[in-house]
Amino acid sequence: MSPVTRQICGIILLTVPTIQYGGFFLLKILSKQQGTTLTDFQKSMFRAGHAHAGVLVILALIAQILTDDAVLSSVAEWIVRDGFTAAAILISGGFFAAAAGKNRIKPNKYIFILYTGIFVLAVATIILGIGLIRNS
């Protein structure tokens, strides 16, 4: 593992307690222990945001390690390293932002954050995949 990979993985791992806290808070809301009232749409979006955060953080960690074995230019390497990490933030944050507001039953204008994250994840995944194939 390269020093850059080790450092970025350490930073990514430091985000896990925030995901844990988000899960705890969501559990309190869904079990009605918290005074906040959410619509079914908001509950679904918040669940999706939380689930995507956990999965995409794991994917970002794996991508950091795989990047060490890919044949990439220095620019492409940083697009991949930052892209997977940014996608975890943008996608999960996009679910939360799009459902924010009182009595929301459909996405608000901040849904673009989710779509931006999807695009960033696709670009980083394609670049990493090509870089790994080039090394075989």
Residue pLDDT tens, the chain, 136 long = 999 999 999 999 999 998 998 888 888 887 877 767 889 899 899 999 999 999 999 999 999 999 999 999 999 999 999 999 999 999 999 999 999 999 999 999 999 999 999 999 999 999 999 999 999 8
Structure tokens at 100: 């924010």
Model pLDDT, residue 117: 98
Query: In terms of Cα–Cα distance, which of 80, 60, 66 is closest to 12?
Result: 60
Alpha helices in 2-108 (DSSP H): 3-13, 16-30, 40-67, 74-98
Model pLDDT, residue 88: 95
Q: Are 94 and 117 in contact (CB under 8 A)?
A: yes
Model pLDDT, residue 58: 96
Model pLDDT, residue 14: 94
- Sign for the CA dihedral angle at 70, 71, 77, 83 comes to negative
Model pLDDT, residue 77: 97
Model pLDDT, residue 61: 97
Which stretch of DSSP H or E encloses residue 89? helix 74-98
Model pLDDT, residue 24: 87
Q: Are 11 and 57 in contact (CB under 8 A)?
A: no
